[in-house]
Amino acid sequence: MKQVCLALLCLLCAACARFENPIVEENGPRFDDALAGRWLFETEEGRFEMDIRRADGEGLVVMTSTTRGEPPQVDQARLVTARLERQTFLSVAGVTADTHWLLFRYELATPDRLVIYQDNDEFWDDAVKNKLVASKSGGDPKIRNSTITASADELRAFVLGYGGVIFKDEPLATFTRE
């Protein structure tokens, strides 16, 4: 997982599958209070820290990425969580730069261990191509940059129907609570 710390921070700006809306529960957006706190992911290349806190009805994530020998990079994001049947999902959107949502599946393996799974870009590409979800193109055909425009309700129904294959089986990262 080379450069994972920096890659996690860049996900807010460079992820292929972007969404206009988060995944939400039937009653709307919420925040899983069990995620509140400081989380750390560390490799030989550096460390990635998340300070997650409640901000009204959703969460705020302050992320600090430190690659060895370089100054820390800090960014903030909005966070919405959803429990759909037995799986938990989080949607993250940049506060200022890129306000599109990114979708992840997460598990609190223990109260002090957070496992995050990235969405499967190929699945979303196929879903767009087969018109299973609404999208709009970013304009440059050389770059995979569609934005999924499905409503939050449509996304919830879609994830309930395809949840097992939308997200990769291999974790993107495992964080420990500080």
Lowest mean pLDDT among 49-63, 96-110, 134-148: 134-148
Token pair for 159: 């994830």
pLDDT of residue 98: 66
At what angle are helices 152-166 and 121-129 packed, to 10 degrees?
Answer: 120
Q: What phi, psi does 21 have (nearest 5°)?
A: -135, 150
Give domain limits for the chain. 4-177
23-77 pLDDT, tens digit each: 999 888 899 999 999 999 998 889 999 999 999 889 999 999 999 889 999 999 9
What lies within 8 Å, CB to CB, of 12 at 6+ separation is 63, 75, 77, 92, 93, 94, 97, 98, 102
Report residue 10's pLDDT band, with 50, 70 and 90 as the boundaries: very low
Confidence band for 133, pLDDT divided at 50, 70 and 90:
confident
Candidates 2.40.128, 1.20.120, 2.60.40, 3.40.50; CATH matching 4-177: 2.40.128
